[in-house]
Amino acid sequence: MEDQLTAYINATVYTPQGVLQEGRMIVNQAGAIVAVGDIELALPDGVDIVDLTGCTVLPGFIDVHVHGGGGHQMMDGTYEGLDGMSRYHAAHGTTSFLATTGTDAQDRLCRALANAAAGINQGVSGAEVLGIHLEGPYIDFKRSGAQKRDYIRLPQRDELALFLAAAEDHIKLVTLAPEVEGGMETVRWLIERGITVSIGHSNATYEEVCEAVALGARHTTHHFNGMSPFHHREPGVAGAGLMLPQLTTELIADGIHVHPAAAKFLFQTKGAANVCMITDAVRCAGMPDGIYGHVKVENGTVTLLDGSSLAGSTLTTIQAFRNMLEFTGLPPEAILPSLTEVPARQIGVSERKGSIAPGKDADFLVTDARWDIHSTFVKGKKVYGR
């Protein structure tokens, strides 16, 4: 049977080569992009045509650090929880993500990891689950933030092997504190297994970060948050992330976790190619103000009940995009890599994700001029529309 093609035409299309006016994108039945071009791109006979006059097509956003949303959370350890968060974030700009854990007991972590692996294998109905981000439990007590302090522990090789097995090798990213006992050896062990190591919830010195980078660490977790701050006599993790070109820095661009001026400074210092925008969204993202278990939401800010720490965010990727346009004054094409190409690179999926280009998965957003999402496509399939 001949492959049926669909052509999306007359849109403003953002590609790595530039912005196409009256752009055209051809997608096959398998959900891959066949061709991208302007009005001169010839359309094959018999192609299905979708006219997107007045609309913009953006590459789908990839979130490598997201715990939940819409009343669901990865640590629920259920398919319904994973699928629910995939649908919620698909409606808000995310086409693929890493299901992210929190520091917890071994049995609960194994259950959540096994459930995420099953969800990856089965597939979900919203944004695609690309893998798992293991945030903790091997972090520094001094920089625990909202992580469960009772379950913070030193790295244990046997336990890590248990986690990898439960996750069926779907762990793509691990956040840890390299300065704790056994931390550097764990960095080396994870790198040998092709897993990206992120320095986070860490009180490391600049020199300790340099040692971890020499071993292969290439990422920082929610930069400026949950880490030793920059000081002119001790640059800490925050300063190391700014100064070391090997490190890509995560950014929660909600204007709460990081001041807009500091977010702009991070972009000016690192460049979009070394900033990985994330949501760090939790279960109550998209929910009304109120108390949700051990956290509360007030005016979109999530904190522990006692107000002692921020506890994730209610941010979405499309709002992060809008925010950074406002915070930096940069054009959309200067911001987009931090939501698309950079996260794809950091977790090793650039060959099929991260841009609108031939051969890539047809993951894209259709928006209006105000960046309101009309529809979200994952591998050529509409998973959200309004």
Catalytic sites, residue numbers: 280
- State the Cα–Cα distance between residues 203 and 224, nearest whole angstrom: 12
* 151 and 137 Cβ atoms separated by less than 8 Å: yes
The letter for the amino acid at 9 is: I
Q: Is 71 exposed, middle or buried (0-12, 13-18, 19+ CB in 10 A)?
A: middle
Sequence-ordered list of residues with C-beta below 8 angstroms from that of 201, at least 6 positions apart, any chain: 135, 136, 139, 140, 143, 144, 145, 147, 175, 176, 177, 221, 226, 227
* 375 and 386 Cβ atoms separated by less than 8 Å: yes
* 97 and 62 Cβ atoms separated by less than 8 Å: yes
228-235 LR contacts (CB < 8 Å, sep 24+): 228/143, 228/202, 228/203, 228/204, 234/205, 234/206, 235/206
* 109 and 101 Cβ atoms separated by less than 8 Å: yes
* 328 and 290 Cβ atoms separated by less than 8 Å: no
